[in-house]
A and B are shown apart, each in its own frame.
Chain A
Amino acid sequence: MGKISRRLRLAFAVSSVIFVAVLAISPVKDLRREWKYYKNGYERFARNRPDKRLLSDFHPGLDQIWIPEMNVVDRCTTCHQGITQPSLADSSVPQPFRAHPPIHHSATDWGCVVCHRGQGPATEVAEAHETTLAWEQPLLPNRLIQGSCGTCHRADLAETPKLTRGRQLLAKLNCVGCHRLQDVDRPAMLAPDLTNIGTKVSRAWIYKWLKEPRTVTDSNGTVTVNGYETGDEPRMPQIHLKEEELRALSGYLSSLRSHPVAPYRFDPRAIALEKAPDLTAQGEVRFRQMFCSTCHSLAVTRAGETKLIGGDIGPELTKVGSKVNRDWLVSWLRNPQEYLPHSTMPRYEWSDQDLFKVAAYITTKLVDSDLLNGVPNLGEATPDEITSGRNLFLAKGCASCHIVGGAAPQKDFGPDLTALGGKNVSQLEFGQSKIPRTLIAYIQTKLTDPVSVNPAARMPQYHWSPDDLEAVTIALISMAGTPSASGMERLKIPRASPEFHPAGAFGEVYERYQCSACHKFNGYGGDLAPDLSYEGSRAQRAWLVDFLKNPQTLRPMLVLRMPQFNVTDKEAAILADYMTMTLQSPLANTAGEGHMRFTPQLAAMGKQLYEVKYQCQACHTIGGAGGYVGPNLSNAGNWLTATWVQAWLKNPQALVPGTIEPRRSFTADEIQALTAYLMTLRPSGKKASAGASQGGTR
């Protein structure tokens, strides 16, 4: 009765053995964790390196960066052990051991995930780097890492050109018209006021424009503008519209003519030019002389490659003749603000002849006879076309950018994007599209082909160059909502640009010629032309007057030049006086200008320094000879104030931050000499006007 069968005892013995063996597996597994593999690898690697510090710094256990106030628990350094070792910076060092490139934030203060994303606490390669069930923000590709800089740094950084570019694109393409974006403020006017559009263009043209706003493109579908960077898109995006929608919208818009323009009655002498055979030729010459191309671009075909030549401050004018009717054009040229109060187009001082010539040139030469070929015969808009057009105008979000009848643009037409960069994959709607389920893929598909993600998308069609797509993606990623980590708040920099609206006579002229469209004044204004905040310290009054009346370029390299405004003497004087008086740099106040005297010997010594010792002619032109990089100094004696030259030679970056003029280590005497020499530089014939001393005594 007592005995236990042998089989049972055997079973017990066997099960005990298996029991203990099986229990042993997990600990064995634990001894071979993935991170230990890299730990040991690093130790072996470090032994073969000359730098002995590697071994002395080696720590066999898990490493982690713990920053409680930022909720950072990053164990990346467990495998990426060399990130603080300068001797491992060489890119031949195998990952994950390579040193981190020098940046302004140390990993011990910020952790890694803050910028690189991925799962900080993880200690396994896949878990740390990829999207997993428990973590939906995989490692950010290096090419997009600037997006992380943007999450805290609201101001533009020199080190993050892509981010800056992306933000510029977002602003330029009026994304803020439909979406809410971080730090992109909504301008007063996004797109032209259409209150009177009917008086400006034909219905056929509207139809065409709505259908295909991109007029000059190369084979890749990108618009290239010579001279300086511009977006690859006209501001007007391509909106998905069906035929009847096109008809309705064009009908509605063409019906908007509340204030018909009265034809301008030209001076008969101007009308007489009608007969002139070279009327348009003269017009073209005038057009060029006035440097309209500074703001407006024209398509030019060179060597089979079509390019836009000119700026993109204003619209591209290649086919404008086929767009606007002549009466409107004339009244516009005479006073743009009358038609568009917000327009940055300067109000030129026209002589009737010039106006007549240029108008003739535009309406006859800048045309494209085939432009409206595809357009069906539309005729007058029917009432129901108009009503449905009005509805479409709202439904398609046109009213987000365009104003009609003074109605304010409707805000938040599209989804709020301020937190897009921080979204999880599960928060994104991929629809049926066959793209990888990642945030990046989503953003880029949405940008390039919105309909593929959501067939009912109202988002218009954009065409990006790879670089711009990358830049915009970066800018969007940078909008990850408010930085979660409290430690980052202190980094936030507001984007402030207080408007600069001087009063008085100068103010009027300033507004009339829209100086701030291109020039910066005390941090406000465009960045197309030089910053004029300190112009009073830099230039002599007389020279300013000359320049304003007849602007010629200073840097031969620049294509863009100051337009010919036909400024009157009175206006020129007002501008020059104001600048010389108030736009002064604390570092170069021209108060003492008058008392400066330079001996010819000094000047001769300066010439020596200029030509032999420092060979400035490498970049600067004097007379015929010299380089194109720096401004032409042939007229320096009339142009620059001695005070400015001295301050400049001492430290250029102090006066104009970011100028490429290298800062040299001149001695005080050398500075004196060089200044003396430069002040003697005057084209023969011209003599020193009293401007300098006047500028000084004021």
Chain B
Amino acid sequence: MPTGAADRALESLRATRVWKSVFRRGPALTNRTRSLAVFGNLFLHFLPVKVREKSLRVRATYYLGSITFLLFVVLSVTGVLLMFYYHPAVPQAYRDLKDLRFVVSNGVFLRNLHRLAAHLMVVTVFWHMFHVFYRGGYKPPHEFNWVVGVVLLLLTLFLSYTGYLLPWDQLAFWAITVGTNIISAMPVIGGRVRYLALGGNQVGENALLRFYVLHCVVLPLVAVLLIAVHFWRVQKDGGLTVKEEDGGK
């Protein structure tokens, strides 16, 4: 029986009407309340109520999917914070980054987090995919979820790439220039596509604005949507594929 101060505080909190109005259930102590906790909660209900114990084992997944998702969360939070000091304009964008570096409290820290998490996410997404492949996770009935995964991979790349331009320094500018020049190698439509992507013939004010909107609004929304589908499909397709060796004692 809980007697700790924190527990007691929690108890009394749970007793309040407000709490009850939010969580329509008692403490998640019985299986019933625990199930309620999951599917009574928008965010948790993407998960199944029960999971195979084997699939919880680290070797089964290395939590790569979760980590990728969590990185996405971190990126969203830091990204939103950074947006408060960022103007997508030339050359103001660059000055804003200088200010983040030199005058804004913890600005440089946030930026580092964002940048690091972004790189990391690309890595984990790939890793996740390969891991799933080697485990045969793409096999029926998971085909569609695999496809969703591949799309999410592309989205991640686009998110990272669009974000790459925003600092508007030499690194960003030339990386984007080089990248977008590849597009124009496309037969027939190549030049046109690049023109649309950049909103011009060279990386300039328009390109910055487009990349900004894509990076901060469009792609994240799509990503959130697909991530939801991805999670949801996992449980609908009967949970993670478990293998005999996962149980390996």
A and B in contact, CB less than 8 Å: yes
Decide yes or no whether B105 CB sits under 8 A from chain A. Answer: yes
- List chain A positions with a Cβ less than 8 A from chain B: 1-2, 26-27, 29-30, 62, 64, 73, 75, 121-124, 127, 134
Report which of B29, B95, B106 forms a contact with A30, defined as CB distance below 8 A.
Answer: B106
Q: Contact between A26 and B98 (Cβ–Cβ < 8 Å)?
A: no
> Nearest Cβ distance between residue B102 and chain A, in whole angstroms?
4
Would you mind naming 8 contact pairs between A and B with Cβ atoms under 8 Å apart? Answer: A2-B30, A2-B31, A30-B105, A62-B103, A121-B98, A122-B98, A123-B103, A134-B98
Decide yes or no whether B174 CB sits under 8 A from chain A. Answer: no
Known contacts A26-B109, A121-B95, A134-B169, A2 near B34 by CB under 8 Å: yes
Known contacts A2-B29, A2-B34, A26 near B102 by CB under 8 Å: no
Q: Contact between B34 and A75 (Cβ–Cβ < 8 Å)?
A: no
| Chain A residues closer than 8 Å to B169, beta-carbon distance | 134
Closest to B102 in A: A123
Q: Please name 16 further chain A to chain B contacts, defined as beta carbons within 8 Å, in addition to the given A2-B30, A62-B103, sorted by A numbering.
A: A1-B31, A2-B29, A2-B31, A26-B109, A27-B106, A30-B105, A30-B109, A75-B102, A121-B98, A121-B99, A121-B102, A121-B103, A122-B102, A123-B102, A123-B103, A127-B102
| Chain B residues closer than 8 Å to A1, beta-carbon distance | 31
| Chain B residues closer than 8 Å to A122, beta-carbon distance | 98, 102
What's the Cα separation between A199 and B39 when bound, in Å? Answer: 108
What's the Cα separation between A1 and B53 when bound, in Å? Answer: 11
| Chain A residues closer than 8 Å to B29, beta-carbon distance | 2
- Chain B: interface size category: 10 to 19
> Nearest Cβ distance between residue B220 and chain A, in whole angstroms?
24
- Contacts between the two chains (Cβ within 8 Å), count: 31
Closest to B112 in A: A26
What's the Cα separation between A233 and B29 when bound, in Å? Answer: 96
What's the Cα separation between A26 and B108 when bound, in Å? Answer: 10
| Chain B residues closer than 8 Å to A121, beta-carbon distance | 95, 98-99, 102-103
Interface residues of B in 70-99 (CB under 8 A from A): 95, 98-99
| Chain B residues closer than 8 Å to A27, beta-carbon distance | 105-106
Interface residues of B in 137-160 (CB under 8 A from A): none
What's the Cα separation between A2 and B27 when bound, in Å? Answer: 13
What's the Cα separation between A220 and B103 when bound, in Å? Answer: 52
> Nearest Cβ distance between residue A22 and chain B, in whole angstroms?
11
> Nearest Cβ distance between residue B241 and chain A, in whole angstroms?
23
Closest to B53 in A: A1
The 6 closest A-B CB pairs, nearest first, are A26-B109, A123-B102, A121-B98, A30-B105, A30-B106, A26-B106
Q: Contact between A124 and B102 (Cβ–Cβ < 8 Å)?
A: yes
> Nearest Cβ distance between residue A137 and chain B, in whole angstroms?
15
| Chain A residues closer than 8 Å to B34, beta-carbon distance | 2
Closest to A123 in B: B102
> Nearest Cβ distance between residue A123 and chain B, in whole angstroms?
4
> Nearest Cβ distance between residue B197 and chain A, in whole angstroms?
27
> Nearest Cβ distance between residue A79 and chain B, in whole angstroms?
12
| Chain A residues closer than 8 Å to B98, beta-carbon distance | 121-122, 134
What's the Cα separation between A121 and B34 when bound, in Å? Answer: 55
CB 8 Å contact bits of B169-180 with A (1 = contact, 0 = none): 100000000000
| Chain A residues closer than 8 Å to B31, beta-carbon distance | 1-2
What's the Cα separation between A122 and B103 when bound, in Å? Answer: 8
Interface residues of B in 107-125 (CB under 8 A from A): 109
| Chain A residues closer than 8 Å to B109, beta-carbon distance | 26, 29-30
| Chain A residues closer than 8 Å to B106, beta-carbon distance | 26-27, 30
| Chain B residues closer than 8 Å to A64, beta-carbon distance | 103
> Nearest Cβ distance between residue A434 and chain B, in whole angstroms?
26
| Chain B residues closer than 8 Å to A123, beta-carbon distance | 102-103
> Nearest Cβ distance between residue B155 and chain A, in whole angstroms?
29
> Nearest Cβ distance between residue B89 and chain A, in whole angstroms?
14
